[in-house]
Amino acid sequence: MARVAIITGGTRGIGEAISLALRDLGITVAANYGGNATRAADFTARTGIPSYRWDVCDFDACQAGCAQVAADLGEVDIVVNNAGITRDGTILKMSYDDWKEVIDTNLGGCFNMAKAVFPGMRQRKWGRIVNIGSINGQAGQYGQVNYAAAKSGIHGFTKALAQEGARAGVTVNAIAPGYIDTDMVAAVPPDVLEKIVAKIPVGRLGQASEIARGVVFLVSEEGGFITGSTLSINGGQHMY
């Protein structure tokens, strides 16, 4: 049976790698994006994967966006909540807007998307939700009380929702990436990045494709006995 997947933040970085990996499995993929229409158009032209614009912070937009994907491509079987932003700063310098935007996007977006697709998944007795957390949601990070709180919240959200979906054939899992070689990490000053890499036991940054392979496993039929779990892909930087 052909499956339909939505990847939020799916046109760049880790999201793009996930979109491509699922497409290559024969899954029909819709890549959501929030802002850069030019980049999304380029992504669609290169990959053949349709891109849909809506803000995951907006509950009604998520309802409408998921309904549009279902009308265009078929009922949504898989959602990967990958969209995320940073607004870093110590709490002394962090504004309320910096806090709220990160919480609303990184954590609120997971609720908004799940709310849109979960009823249909339960009704059809099959579904996969994968939420992209972070090593910094597990271990914390200086200057990221907003981001760490949102990503930590994702792990609790995952465990709770997994219990609601399990008997209906809907699995809910999370992946907690470490430092991955993406545009976001590339923006880190070189001297800081060097110190980060020095703390990674395998001695390098991760690749977006390595996160995508984790998603591929969790959304597969073979992954059906895994739910409420967090898969840490971080090169050994944080173990517990």
Q: At 113, which CATH number?
A: 3.40.50.720
Residue 184 confidence (pLDDT): 74
Cβ atoms within 10 Å, residue 197: 16
Catalytic center residues = 147
**Range 88-93 contact pairs with CB under 8 angstroms and sequence separation of 24 or more:** 88/143, 88/144, 88/147, 89/143, 90/142, 90/143, 91/145
Point out the residues of the chain with pLDDT beneath 50. Answer: none
Residue 112 confidence (pLDDT): 98
| Rounded-to-integer distance, Cα 126 and Cα 167, Å | 10
Q: Is residue 199 one of the residues assigned to a domain? A: yes
Q: Is residue 86 one of the residues assigned to a domain? A: yes
- This prediction has a pTM of 0.95
Q: Is residue 236 one of the residues assigned to a domain? A: no
Q: Is residue 215 one of the residues assigned to a domain? A: yes
Q: Which two tokens stand for residue 50?
A: 């349709």
Residue type at 11 in one-letter notation: T
Helical pair 37-47 and 13-24, crossing angle rounded to 10 deg: 30
Q: Is residue 172 one of the residues assigned to a domain? A: yes
Q: Look at the chain and report how many structural domains it folds into.
A: 1
Residue 192 confidence (pLDDT): 86
Which domain range does residue 102 map to? 4-230
Residue 105 confidence (pLDDT): 97
Q: Is residue 147 one of the residues assigned to a domain? A: yes
Residue 186 confidence (pLDDT): 77
* Contact criterion met (CB below 8 Å) for 80 and 215: yes
Residue 1 confidence (pLDDT): 64
Which residues are CB-neighbours of 67 under 8 A, at least 6 positions away? 116
Residue 116 confidence (pLDDT): 98
Q: Is residue 235 one of the residues assigned to a domain? A: no
Q: Is residue 34 one of the residues assigned to a domain? A: yes
β-pairing, 4-7 vs 230-233, is unpaired
| Rounded-to-integer distance, Cα 17 and Cα 91, Å | 33
